[in-house]
A = this chain, B = another copy of it.
Amino acid sequence: MIIDCHGHYTTVPAAHTSWRKDQLAAWEARAVTPQYPDISDSDLRASIEGSQLRLMRERGVDLTIFSPRASAMAHHEGDEGVSRQWAEACNDLIYRVTQLYPDNFAGVCQLPQSPGVPIANSIAELRRCVEELGFVGCNLNPDPSGGHWTSPPLTDRSWYPFYEAMVELDVPAMVHVSAVTNPNFHATGSAYLNADTTAFMQFLLADLFRDFPELRFVIPHGGGAVPYHWGRFRGLADMLKRPPLQESVMRNVFFDTCVYHQPGINLLFEVIDIDNLLFGSEMVGAVRGIDPQTGNYFDDTRRYVEALDLAADDRDKVFERNARRVYPRLEQLIKA
């Protein structure tokens, strides 16, 4: 079985995206929020079958851990109420996809984060998604300000109430930022990778996982810059009198394989322990084209992983068992 831990619903029906525009316009105008549109099952099927599911089948991916489009979370837009409505609408749509294709999709939720609003206010939606909708995890945005980084680091105690809920519900979070308003950054080209690197360094510096030994994070996009600079991070841990990374961070942090060329994947698997790697593609997502150097899609990361010619047990871990271990509720779903 091949599980992709990182897929976003980037091909939503147009009515969903239009509603978001209307919702924000209504908020700006202090008008009543428009009614959420009727989206039929056949609209949903059309939005999935011709793109995400077709590509999954072409690439031999059985199941995608599926979450709302990351760049569209835009926690900096509107206010807390706007963010809550939008998160609920996005999560409900994911839920419907998981119900239409229960063998192919497991849900991960967007949170109703909003700059300056306590993260505890996101627990109710996490709980709803996990307990009522059967979701297996969440995407946690370390920077709901949209590129201005106005929140405290992920290791700050202000995040702890949310971590308590994650541990109680036994769900991991993918650390994932969203669209940026700061013109210095490009969402998929720099902001995402920067956030990945930033989060890892925060984890390195603090005792978060001593406080929460069972808390688990997936850092996407192959861990940002971290594996490429693994020596730097090992050296910083040493110089800053922190415990070795294997003890202080890597019992709780996992990287996906969203690295879009063979040399990058080779490096990732060379430096990071196999138990910390989850197959992912970020498909349909950041980079949609075909690499002229290979003739294959840039984001067809299965090809790069297969080319490693891993031992059967390692291959199995990356493609399936690690995901089932990191997302215990996925394990339950599969067994059910």
Contacts and interface: CB of A to CB of B under 8 A. Distances in A.
Given A186-B205, A289-B235, A261 B194 contact: no
Nearest to A185: B198
Interface range on chain A (Cβ under 8 Å from partner):
35 or more
Interface stretch (A53-61, A209-217, A223-231): A223-231
Given A198-B194, A231-B259, A236 B189 contact: yes
A41 interface: no
Interface string A187-223: 0111001100110111011000000000000000110
- When all copies of this chain in the complex are counted, the total is 2
A60 to B, nearest CB: 20
A222 B229 contact: yes
Contact of A142 (B147, B184, B259): B184
Given A184-B202, A189-B204, A267-B267, A261 B230 contact: yes
Contacts of A188: 232, 236
Nearest to A292: B238
Nearest to A260: B231
A182 B156 CA distance: 13
Contact of A267 (B152, B185, B186, B263): B263
A143 B190 CA distance: 15
Nearest to A261: B231
Given A184-B151, A184-B198, A190-B201, A287 B232 contact: yes
Given A236-B189, A239-B289, A228 B228 contact: yes
A69 to B, nearest CB: 16
Contacts of A298: 231-232, 234-235
Contacts of A142: 184
Contact of A235 (B143, B152, B239, B291): B291
Given A222-B229, A232-B298, 10 more contacts: A143-B184, A185-B198, A189-B201, A197-B197, A230-B261, A235-B286, A235-B288, A238-B292, A239-B288, A267-B267
Contact of A147 (B149, B193, B264): B149
Nearest to A239: B289
A148 B148 contact: yes
A159 interface: no
A15 to B, nearest CB: 25
A259 B229 contact: yes
16 contacts: A184-B202, A185-B198, A190-B202, A221-B229, A222-B228, A227-B228, A228-B264, A228-B267, A229-B264, A231-B259, A231-B261, A231-B298, A232-B259, A235-B260, A235-B291, A264-B267
